[in-house]
Amino acid sequence: MKLEGEENKIKWADYQKEIADDHFFYVRSCIRQSLYPGSEQFFLNLLGNILKKDIYENPSHTTCTGIGYHGDVVPFSTIQTVVARHYALMKESGYKNIAISCVTSFGIYTEILETWKHFPEELEKTREYLFKATGREFDIPENVSHTSDIIYKFKDEIASMAKYRLVDKETGEPLKGVEHIGCHYAKIFPKYGVGGAEFPQVLSGMITTWGGEVVDYPERRHCCGFGFRQYLVQANRGYSLSNSITKFESMKPYKPDFILTNCPGCNMFMDKWQYTVKEMNGNTYGQDGNAIPVLTYEELAGLVLGVDPWDLGLQFHAVQSEPLLDKMGIEYSKEDKYKTIDGRQMGVPAKILNV
């Protein structure tokens, strides 16, 4: 595959979106702040303290209700009003650029903005609903970026500060990364994703800039199988799982060192399903019988910048990252893995992979 370089006839410039440079209004993800809290924590730290950008989050921000919307329990007018409320919070806080942590939310924010463009009566209705319910008013944001867009924008700055590269310390070979993009990042509106829908560049750009190599495998563009309705009913989960396995089997021959995702659901499922498959039939898809660590882009940026893996929350994954850390030559303390910041011992999970 030729995604970059002179040989490449494709002009990715067609799919370069505008990503704000500073002054971000941050909205969190339901799944990420519960399951991978280190990622969002580090994003705020990276933007605010390392890159010295202005980033703000409002304590009154709530879920976007996207899971309910895609699970057929939240009507469209309701979710429009919830999203409008977030825009109102942004206006009240004096911000115009929204930075969205979740791909589902990102899809919803953009879907609603597009709806308002094409159906102005929906916008008027929403203004009315929000005002009646809360007395709030809102503006349309100037810039809508997913947080992976923002890291993509600053990938070169991150590379210039890097302590580690995505390179095998022993062999000097680039590490192989599988990138997986959430469906709602660019499949709804290819023009709002860096690189479009078929060959998105947002994560592959990070991997190559930080020294790694991107694996292109046949099922690369496919859904992880989350599917909201499919996952929410227990008896249907085999369907989600089977889709993830289709991807794992397709990537296995390439011997990937890690999977990089930009979607909360994908990250959760690609991580946890590896545990499930192993329990169900003993299969693993990484090297040497290991599972493949699944990282968020903040976690990967953090590792590259030399942040302690346990401060990034890598121990909260089902698939542990030690094989990757060892390859990159990252130092870490085995004792501190399950210690709180003030040194107290946390519970140690009984069933995790790669240890």
- Rg of the chain over Cα atoms, rounded to whole angstroms, equals 20
Tell me which of 176, 220, 272, 327 binds another protein, using CB under 8 A.
220
Pick between residue 65 and residue 97 the one whose CB is nearest to another protein: 65
The verdict on 180 binding another protein (CB under 8 A) reads no
The verdict on 183 binding another protein (CB under 8 A) reads yes
The verdict on 96 binding another protein (CB under 8 A) reads no
> In sequence order, what are the residues at sequence separation of 6 or more whose Cβ sits closer than 8 angstroms to the Cβ of residue 125?
77, 80
Our measurement of the distance from residue 30's CA atom to the centroid of its chain's CA atoms, rounded to an integer in Å, reads: 12
Residues 231-260 that bind another protein (CB under 8 A): 239, 242-243, 246, 250, 253-254
The verdict on 230 binding another protein (CB under 8 A) reads yes
The verdict on 191 binding another protein (CB under 8 A) reads no
> In sequence order, what are the residues at sequence separation of 6 or more whose Cβ sits closer than 8 angstroms to the Cβ of residue 74?
65, 68
Instruction: Tell the smallest beta-carbon distance from residue 246 to another protein (Å).
Output: 6
Say if residues 155 and 149 touch (Cβ distance below 8 Å).
no
Tell me which of 174, 193, 196, 302 binds another protein, using CB under 8 A.
196
Tell me which of 38, 177, 182, 227 binds another protein, using CB under 8 A.
227
DSSP three-state, residue 105: helix
At residue 57, φ and ψ (nearest 5 deg) are -125, 145
End-to-end, the C-alpha distance of the chain in Å comes to 34
Pick between residue 183 and residue 319 the one whose CB is nearest to another protein: 183
Pick between residue 70 and residue 317 the one whose CB is nearest to another protein: 70
Tell me which of 117, 163, 191, 229 binds another protein, using CB under 8 A.
229
Helix axes 103-118, 120-134, angle to 10 degrees: 120
Tell me which of 1, 133, 233, 346 binds another protein, using CB under 8 A.
1
CB-count burial class (<10 Å; 0-12, 13-18, 19+) for 48: middle
Binding site for another protein (CB under 8 A): 1-3, 8-11, 70, 183, 187-188, 190, 196-199, 216-223, 225, 227-230, 239, 242-243, 246, 250, 253-254
